[in-house]
Amino acid sequence: MNVTFNRFTKALVIFVIFDFFMFFVLEAIFWMQPFVYNILLEMFNNPPKSLDFSMHALVLKKLFINQGFYNLFFALGGIAGLFYINKNKAVGYALISLVCFSATGAGIVLTLTSKAYILAFLQTVPATIALFKVYPLLKKELNM
């Protein structure tokens, strides 16, 4: 079986990276914007009725900044993986596999713990497909 890092796989990986980066921007930079926290709080959890969304967002602000930076670091790992494919394929494929595995796992957790099913689908499915396409390339580079 001839497996290559083709345009489709690269596009999936870029989508996964973009997804991580987009959530960095939403969570770490724009979290306190009503448009952002209203949508995300409604999707991810229902705050107690005694707290309105603005107060709930304020309470969760530092948590979401931290979470946003986790997303940034995964995005940077994916970018590094794409860069390293040209220098050291095993390192590149390993970084991309880690990023796609993390997105897949996070998407599954999101599905099980929220009603953000569309976001979970968009996070999980492209990452899973990319992982199934990249992992054999990693194994091949490592002679496994």
Distance CA 4, CA 6 (A): 5
Q: How deeply is 107 buried, as exposed, middle or buried, from its count of CB atoms within 10 A (0-12, 13-18, 19+)?
A: buried
- Rounded CA-CA distance 97/26 in Å is 24
Given this model, what pLDDT does residue 1 score? 54
Quote the pLDDT of residue 2.
63
pLDDT, residue 53, reads 87
pLDDT for 97 = 98
- pLDDT one-digit tens code per residue, 81-118: 999 999 999 999 999 999 999 999 999 999 998 888 99
Give 50's pLDDT tier (boundaries 50, 70, 90): confident
pLDDT recorded at residue 114: 86
CA angle 121, 127, 71 (to 5 degrees): 90
Mean pLDDT, residues 47-51 taken together: 74
Query: Has residue 65 got a pLDDT over 90?
Result: yes
Nearest residue to 22 (alpha-carbon basis) of 143, 122, 132, 138: 122
Q: What confidence score (pLDDT) does residue 27 get? A: 95
Where exactly are the structural domains of the chain? 7-141
